[in-house]
């Protein structure tokens, strides 16, 4: 039986874990399936996921209505190969040996679904590129 390489793991971080990081995690899970381990968290998580984000993802067939924002922990960062921040700045702990990317994206907080759609589409584009790099299909 051939050795299967360990799955790469990705952590998406934003302040509230209610918008951008939830969309990115949902797209990565949806598009990569079990080829990548996916986490998301926020440095100051909101109580709920942004309803406009839930609606924008539902339009492309991804249901995150049951997701809840999670607090960022050092353990989540340590357990991840790639940490992608989205506007959390200095609050994200930095560990040696991890790969960090910062995706500059507008914050969908307080925006309607019309404003969320272009953010969603940009996140999907970036996630597809990330999958091609981390976990290309054999």
DSSP letter for each residue of 70-112: -B--HHHHHT-SEEEESS-GGGS---TT-EEEE------TT--
Mean pLDDT, residues 67-82: 94
User: Which residues are tagged catalytic?
Assistant: 14, 88, 92
Say yes or no to pLDDT of 137 above 90. Answer: no
Mean pLDDT, residues 100-110: 92
pTM here is: 0.92
Residues 8-61: tens digit of each pLDDT:
999 999 989 999 999 999 999 999 999 999 999 998 999 999 999 999 999 999
Residues 107-119: tens digit of each pLDDT:
999 999 999 999 9
């Amino acid at each position: 039986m051939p050795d299967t390489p360990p799955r790469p793991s990705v952590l998406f971080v934003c302040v509230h874990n209610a918008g951008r990081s939830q969309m990115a995690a949902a797209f990565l899970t949806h598009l990569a399936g079990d080829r990548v381990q996916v986490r998301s968290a926020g440095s100051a998580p909101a109580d709920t996921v942004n309803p406009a984000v839930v609606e924008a993802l539902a339009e492309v067939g991804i249901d995150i209505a049951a997701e809840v924002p999670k607090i960022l922990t050092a353990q989540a960062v340590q357990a991840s190969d790639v940490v992608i921040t989205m506007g959390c700045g200095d609050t994200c702990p930095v560990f040696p040996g991890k790969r960090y990317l910062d995706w500059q994206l507008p914050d969908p907080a307080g925006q309607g679904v019309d404003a969320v759609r272009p953010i969603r589409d940009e996140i999907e584009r970036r996630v597809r590129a990330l999958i091609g790099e981390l976990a290309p299909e054999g």
